Structure 1
Amino acid sequence: MSSRQRVNAGAARRQAMAELVVRRGTASVAELAESFGVSVMTVHRDLDELERQGMVRKFRGGVTAQASNVFESNIAYRLTAHLAEKEAIGRHVAGLIEPGSSVMIDDSTTALAVARHLGEAAPLTVVTNFLEAIRLLAGAPGIRLMALGGEYHASHDSFLGVACVDAVEAMSTDLLVVSTSAISDSYAFHQEQEIVLVKRAMLRSASRSILAVDHSKLERVALHRVAPLDDFDLVVVDSRTPDDAVRRLRERHHNVEVAQV
């Protein structure tokens, strides 16, 4: 096998390995070595490269695509997680949007679920830094689409950085739909500071804001505080959220709605 063929074979194996981990959520090094017919050392090298790309997170004896308080899941994993809950939230939030208004959506997969229903509220002006949402809404009837630029981050499929923050701050929208990777009774959190800076700028640039989070993100924290829950006009969760969690949210943030799955 030539050196070029070995490089191509390694890249294909790592891609397949990443897809397997995303599909399962977690896998052990031993399982991956058996599945791909390679040595444990080769698996570790592959996982080191996938971790460098932000696809997975290694732990002792294995690897995961799931988020931690310092690691945000790759977009490929988030697009497969809690689909029914996000769809319910998407329908619910879209039903709250006034035709003719301007809406900013962030690069969360929950906001993407909202974007899938925005045609029902058209005409709308939609502003986003999420490439997947741009692809979805480009050319959609009744949607005036405005894309926020910046540095492209493949792990999030979105544009971030100083240029994105500047672009956000030049806008003023009627509504922001945003999600975060974790919320407590008092704060919304995210693992990555570049994401946090963009979300904070979006909050400053919108007249009203909706925080949309599925139940898996509740009663958790991550490395960075995004904003107090009181900074959001409305919090929308899904109906698989435990009653006690909804009650505590309402005690601290009175405007909470539950989307029926």
Structure 2
Amino acid sequence: MRYDGAPQRRTHIMAALRRAGFLSVADISAQLGVSTMTIRRDLRRLAEAGEVQLVHGGVSLPPGGVGAPGYASRALSHAGAKQAIGAAAVRLVQPGDTIGIDSGTTAAEVAHALPEDFDGCVITHSVPVLAHMLSRPRSRVIGIGGELLHDNQAMVGFAALDLVRRMRVRLLFLGASAVDERGAYVRSEVELSAKHALMDIADEVVLLADASKLTATAPVQVCGFDRIDTLVVDGPLPAAVATAARRNGTRVLTG
């Protein structure tokens, strides 16, 4: 059977890997009916999400067999929509730009969508984004240190804040767990300090939200629409959210 969609392929790979513990690139390619080059791209994405470990000739589960299931499962959820949002958002980036990329699976897609010859600067506290930027050698990359927040695969804490406050970015690509007419939300207060610090140094805040975030709920508000310059989504907005965006002058882009 041929699997042409990347999210479908990666779901199949993870299911097979959990059964076998190790898979060769050649075996996966034969099972899914796609090229080994395509499979290697899929495996790199899964490795960046922390769900697999690349080994010679193939892939295995990470030590302990679990990787980072929270982040990895979110990365696979609505993956096509997140990729479309990342592609739309990256069109805002200019050559030589300085941009900030927040933690989270949707924000990480901005890094994936950056052109290979991007010669600007990326500032981030996202571990998967830092890992991916190894494939962009022309880019300057500044990693914000601190304590590792395992669920989000991001660095947080006072060390991160002290470094961020001395910087400036033209664009910040902001992630969220939920969005409604009152603004953006996350699951935990632990995430707030880094997000607020990055927002404070940004000329423009770009919120990224796939359709699932527009019906989700989360307890901690990050900001209202008065702090959001651009909202990038993958489909129509609920009426209340569209009204809030329009009232606050928030530009809406669809991926």
Q: What TM-score results when the alignment is normalised by the length of structure 2? A: 0.68
Instruction: Find the aligned partners of 2:183 and 2:240 in 1 and give their Cα distance.
Output: 14
Does the CA-based 8 Å contact 1:99-1:121 persist in structure 2? Answer: no
For residue 223 of structure 1, the aligned residue among 219, 229, 238 is: 219
Distance across 2 between alignment mates of 1:219 and 1:139: 34
The answer for the alignment partner of 1:104 in structure 2 is: 100
Offset of residue 153 of structure 1: 2.0
Q: Shift of the alpha carbon at 1:80? A: 0.8
1:53 matched residue in structure 2: none
2:160 — aligned with what?
Answer: 164
Q: Secondary structure at the match of 2:115?
A: helix
Give 1:254's match in structure 2, choosing from 243, 249, 255. 249
The 8 Å contact of residues 188 and 227 in structure 1, kept in 2 or not, is answered as yes
Write the distance in 2 (CA, Å) between the matches of 1:141 and 1:84: 26
* RMSD of Structure 2 on Structure 1 (CA): 2.2
1:155 is aligned to 2:151: yes
- The answer on whether the counterparts of 1:185 and 1:252 sit within 8 Å (CA) in structure 2 is no
Query: Are the structure 2 counterparts of residues 246 and 226 from structure 1 closer, same or farther at C-alpha, using a change threshold of 3 Å?
Result: closer
The whole-number CA distance in structure 1 between the counterparts of 2:241 and 2:140 is 35
Q: 2:209 — aligned with what?
A: 213
* Segment of structure 1 superposing worse, 94-103 or 166-175: 166-175
Q: CA deviation at 1:100?
A: 0.9
Indicate how the Cα distance of structure 1 residues 220 and 125 shifts in structure 2: closer, same or farther if over 3 A, else same.
Answer: same
The number of residues matched between the two structures is 190
Q: Provide structure 2 residue ranges, at least 5 long, that are not aligned to the other structure.
A: 1-13, 19-68
Q: Distance in 2 between matches of 1:161 and 1:85?
A: 31
Q: Deviations over 1:164-190 (max 9, x none)?
A: 122221211111111110111122111
Query: Is 1:101–1:174's contact at 8 Å kept on the other side of the alignment?
Result: yes
Q: Which amino acid aligns with 2:184?
A: A
Alignment CA distance shift 1:160-1:256 (3 Å): same
Q: Please name the residue that 2:184 is paired with.
A: 188
Does 2:119 align with 1:123? yes
Among all aligned residue pairs of Structure 1 and Structure 2, give the percentage whose two residues are the same amino acid.
29
Distance 1:251 1:175, change over 3 A: closer
- Counterpart of 1:259, as a letter, is T
Structure 1: gaps spanning 5 or more residues = 1-18, 24-72
Deviations 1:188-207 (A, max 9, x none): 11111111111011100111
Aligned residue type for 2:85: I
> After TM superposition, what 4+ stretches of structure 1 lie above 2 angstroms from structure 2?
241-260
What's the offset of the Cα at 1:219? 4.8
Match of 1:244 among 239, 245, 248: 239
AA of the residue aligned to 1:111: A
Greater mean alpha carbon deviation, residues 94-103 or residues 151-160: 151-160
Indicate the residue corresponding to 1:93 in structure 2: 89
Q: Which moved more, 1:160-169 or 1:101-110?
A: 160-169
